[in-house]
Structure 1
Amino acid sequence: MTVLVVTGTSTGVGKTIATAAIAARAIAKGQSVVVIKPAQTGVLPGEVGDIDDVARLVAGVRTIELIRYPEPLAPDTAARRSGMRLLSLDEVVSVARECVEDLVIVEGAGGVLVRIGEFTLLDVARELGAPIVVVAASGLGTLNHSELTVRAIEAAGVEVKGLIIGSWPTEPDLAERCNLEDLPRVTGARIIGSIPAGAGQLSGIEFTNRAAEWVDPE
């Protein structure tokens, strides 16, 4: 079993679609895959969450969502405001370790230091001995956000597997074109993927067929 943790430089950078692409690529290679979303926020019971988007795009993937909170806030804040329980680090780690799939992907919420409970995704990665994939934005501001994220991960003694640009535009501007060269230079991490803007709107079949073109975490 291989465990991979996916975080972002911030919220809304494309973590879920990048997670789906990694899962689709692995399934196309004949591997079994489970995607774990410890905490989903801003989604009511019965509404579509991140884990549902992964299932829609990737046939054959197993998905696990441990808890969801109604308000679109950091999970620990959302839990306290709703009166719902906080997740524990042991619970998340235990669920991941009990999985039997070839590839276990744990997708965080927001950035790597966002509190999921009284812990962060970085703590999860460290406990599991798993590398982290960082999903980054393509445009202005991404160099600073990406370098800060990579430095925090490496300072904790966790491996950065690489960077994925979560949404690459059809017509990139000057900053975006420069960032393709500058991101590896300032972070020391290689770019292992780039997801075309709008990929999440594709059919599951087309998404899965094209995912291998977009990401290569190996």
Structure 2
Amino acid sequence: MPVIVISGTGTEIGKTVATAALATAALAQGRSVAVLKPAQTGVAPGEPGDVDEVARLAGSAVTKAELVRYPEPLAPDTAARRAGMPQLRPEDVAEAAEKLAAAHDLVLVEGAGGLLVRFDDAGSTLADAARLLAAPVLVVATAGLGTLNVTTLTTEALRARALTPLGVVIGSWPAAPGLAERCNLADLPSSAGVPLLGAVPEGAGALAPDAFRAAAPGWLAPSLGGTWSVDDVARR
């Protein structure tokens, strides 16, 4: 898989930190990695964005790419329109990812918010970019109540567009999981119809980079370059 598209089931669920964990695991395997953020919103010029956070955690070996940056923390189409800036097109995302894939073993394309957040007035979304790339989509989800519904809606939307949902990673696994979180470990795969491929601990983004890089492979399943097992989590 030279390109993996990463979508959340919403905002502020740990998607960037999960992307950093994926990059870390791939780098540890000796692979070259690029991270592409098609649309960065709510960040002023010169301020560090999501790709900078990925590189801070995973290391400077990560190639960073960002296509557009809008000042207000809104959906990309709305943010572009309000700022009087050009809107992003899925073709732009696909072209940039393909160029990066020609020079890297793995390209991670991190979306903004959920799968169907609009890029432009035509209603284009991250799903359209994934279709142009023929790339699988990894879904980053929350751990608690409500996640079964939104995660299943996301994977159903992917299949309806003839896209491949690669699996689910929990973006912030609580230090003291409750009943709902523990049940969701078993219920997410059956509900969403895809494997559970990891769980990033809450607060992982606050770790020192060296500690993050040492621990990150333990948060991801072997198919993503890690050593994580849902059985290990369930037994704790």
Shorter-chain TM-score: which interval? over 0.9
**Which residue number in structure 2 is paired with residue 153 of structure 1?**
158
Instruction: Give runs of ≥4 in structure 1 deviating > 3 Å.
Output: none
**Which residue number in structure 1 is paired with residue 64 of structure 2?**
63
Q: Is the 8 A contact 2:13 2:172 kept in 1?
A: yes
Cα drift, residue 153 of structure 1: 0.5
**Which residue number in structure 2 is paired with residue 101 of structure 1?**
104
Q: Is the 8 A contact 2:90 2:126 kept in 1?
A: no
Identity across matched positions, percent: 55
Cα distance in 1 for partners of 2:31, 2:201 equals: 24
**Which residue number in structure 1 is paired with residue 54 of structure 2?**
54
Q: Is the 8 A contact 1:109 1:116 kept in 2?
A: no
- Which 5+ residue runs of structure 1 have no aligned equivalent? none
**Which residue number in structure 2 is paired with residue 197 of structure 1?**
202
Pick from 189, 202, 208 the counterpart of residue 184 of structure 1: 189
The secondary structure found in structure 2 opposite 1:43 is coil
**Which residue number in structure 2 is paired with residue 84 of structure 1?**
85
Cα distance in 2 for partners of 1:135, 1:105 equals: 13
- Which 5+ residue runs of structure 2 have no aligned equivalent? 225-236
Paired residues for 1:1-218 under 5 Å: 2-59=2-59, 60-99=61-100, 100-117=103-120, 118=122, 119-216=124-221, 217-218=223-224
Q: Structure 2: which amino acid aligns with 1:96?
A: A
The Cα offsets for residues 65-121 of structure 1, whole Å up to 9 and x where unpaired, read as 111101110001000000011112221111111111000110000100001234111
Cα distance in 1 for partners of 2:137, 2:213 equals: 22
Cα drift, residue 7 of structure 1: 0.1
Q: How many residues align?
A: 218
TM-score, L = length of structure 1: 0.97
The secondary structure found in structure 1 opposite 2:210 is helix
Cα distance in 1 for partners of 2:132, 2:193 equals: 24
Q: Structure 1: which amino acid aligns with 2:107?
A: V
TM-score, L = length of structure 2: 0.90
Q: Structure 2: which amino acid aligns with 1:76?
A: D
Superposed CA RMSD in Å reads: 1.0
